[in-house]
Amino acid sequence: MHGLDDQAVARVSELLKGSTQPVALTGAGISAESGVPTFRSGESGFWGRFRPEDLATPEAFAADPLLVWCWYAWRRAQLAELSPNDGHRAMAAFEQLPGGFTVITQNVDGLHQAGGSHNVIEVHGSIAAVRCSADCGARRYLLHEHNHKHDHNHDRERDRERDRDASAEAVFASDREVARLVAEQGDAAFATISEGSGLSGRLPPQCSGCGAYLRPDVVWFGEQLPLEAVNRAFELSESADLFLVVGTSSVVYPAAALPEVAAERGAVLVEINPEPTPLSDRADVVIRSGSGPALSAVAQRLGLGA
Ligand code: NAD
Ligand code: ZN
């Protein structure tokens, strides 16, 4: 709690208590305290040599689907080791507020759900989901098993939802195998995979509807954002009376437009970020600190001990 602006924390608590429709927009910063490597840091070895701009594109997938698939399998394996932090947990607790609570996130890491949030709109997709690359209309598969060490006990509920389709099983199996190869062989893993350890013939897994490759259900560079999620995000931002902007630099559009739309419609704007952003001047309240300490202090004040 040291170094926290108690007055700002108290104001945000009061605002949340009185809000009829509180909404948050989150970005990479809320997951920083969980140790989620950003795109540009903390990666080493063979896979780390690739730049996201080179692999997270439709062109890269068309040119070398196996390479892109394995890069995501490796990232899923890394993420599976991480847990949600106090910031995610506090936001999950905010769902008990009289006005409820919805999170619009630019993150693909699934940590809000792992922290217990139910009302999450993912505007950049989810690394824990895969879908048909030909968009044939076959369902998307959620890879819950790979989605972190849950610290809430809704796992059983999720298990029931889980799709036990053969395609999903193929994804689980390939993730485990890629993770094992990377752990054992480091840099040499990809050569092993492409030279045909038996795995390459089966990767990427194919859509059970049309036979096209499955792909991660994330928004790649140059792609449109999922329309339904974006529409819901804008609708919510228009009707919100309180809008929290947490751990995002607020420069990537269209997500960055959401707080602007909310403010224009009269919402009170709160920024939680250790660094100033282009939005800071427009914010009504600013907590200049990491999201974990800030949000857990707010939750505690509200008696929601997260
Ligand atoms: P960004 O990297 O542009 O900004 C991160 C922000 O978080 C910065 O303003 C920084 O000051 C702040 N921050 C750092 N530590 C923090 C902490 N402890 N608490 C609160 N804030 C903290 O990230 P962005 O705005 O999300 O946009 C970058 C794009 O990269 C997004 O499209 C996102 O989808 C993608 N991305 C996602 C992940 C993920 O899923 N976790 C990780 C990296 C990048
Ligand atoms: Zn298909």
Instruction: Check residue 216 and report its DSSP letter.
Output: E
**pLDDT value of position 21:** 98
Burial of 51 (0-12, 13-18, 19+ CB in 10 A): exposed
Q: How far apart are CA 219 and CA 278, in angstroms?
A: 24
Compute the half-sphere exposure of residue 179: CA atoms within 13 Å on the CB side of its CA.
15
65 lines ligand 1 (CB under 6 A): no
Ligand showing the shortest atom-to-Cα distance for residue 167: 2
Query: What is the edge-to-edge ordering of all strands in the sheet holding 268-272?
Result: 120-122, 102-105, 22-26, 242-246, 268-272, 285-287
Q: How far apart are CA 175 and CA 204, in angstroms?
A: 11
Number of other residues whose CB lies within 10 A of the CB of residue 275: 8
CB 87 within 8 A of CB 33: yes
The position carrying tokens 């693909």 is: 108
89 lines ligand 1 (CB under 6 A): no
Q: Same topology for domains 1-36+84-124+225-306 and 40-81+128-218, yes or no?
A: no
Sign of the torsion angle spanned by Cα atoms 36, 39, 41, 42:
positive
Has domain 40-81+128-218 been given CATH number 3.30.1600.10? yes
Number of other residues whose CB lies within 10 A of the CB of residue 160: 7
Asked whether the whole model's pTM tops 0.85, one would answer: yes
Helix (H) or strand (E) holding 175: helix 166-185
Shortest-distance atom of ligand 1 to CA 27: 26
CB 152 within 8 A of CB 194: no
Distance of CA 87 to the CA centre of its chain: 13
Q: 186: left (phi > 0), else alpha (psi -120 to 50), else beta?
A: left
- Cα-flanking dihedrals φ and ψ of residue 283, to 5°? -75, 140
List, in order, residues 6 or more apart from 273 with CB less than 8 Å away: 29, 245, 246, 247, 248, 280, 286, 288, 291
| pLDDT tens-digit profile, the chain (306 residues) | 458 999 999 999 999 999 999 999 999 999 999 998 665 555 555 566 677 888 899 999 999 998 898 888 888 888 888 999 999 999 999 999 999 999 999 999 999 999 999 999 999 999 989 999 998 987 777 775 444 444 444 444 444 444 445 667 777 777 888 888 878 887 777 777 777 666 666 788 888 889 899 999 999 999 999 999 999 999 999 999 999 999 999 888 889 999 999 999 999 999 999 999 999 999 999 999 999 999 999 999 999 975
Shortest-distance atom of ligand 1 to CA 107: 40
Amino acid making up residue 4: L
204 lines ligand 1 (CB under 6 A): no
**pLDDT value of position 149:** 46
Burial of 106 (0-12, 13-18, 19+ CB in 10 A): buried
CATH of domain 1-36+84-124+225-306: 3.40.50.1220
39 is written with which tokens? Answer: 């795109």
**pLDDT value of position 98:** 96
Ligand showing the shortest atom-to-Cα distance for residue 290: 1
Q: Where are the domains of the chain?
A: 1-36+84-124+225-306, 40-81+128-218
**pLDDT value of position 230:** 97
**pLDDT value of position 45:** 54
- Ion ligand 2 — residues with CB under 5 Å? 132, 134, 136, 138, 207, 209-210, 212
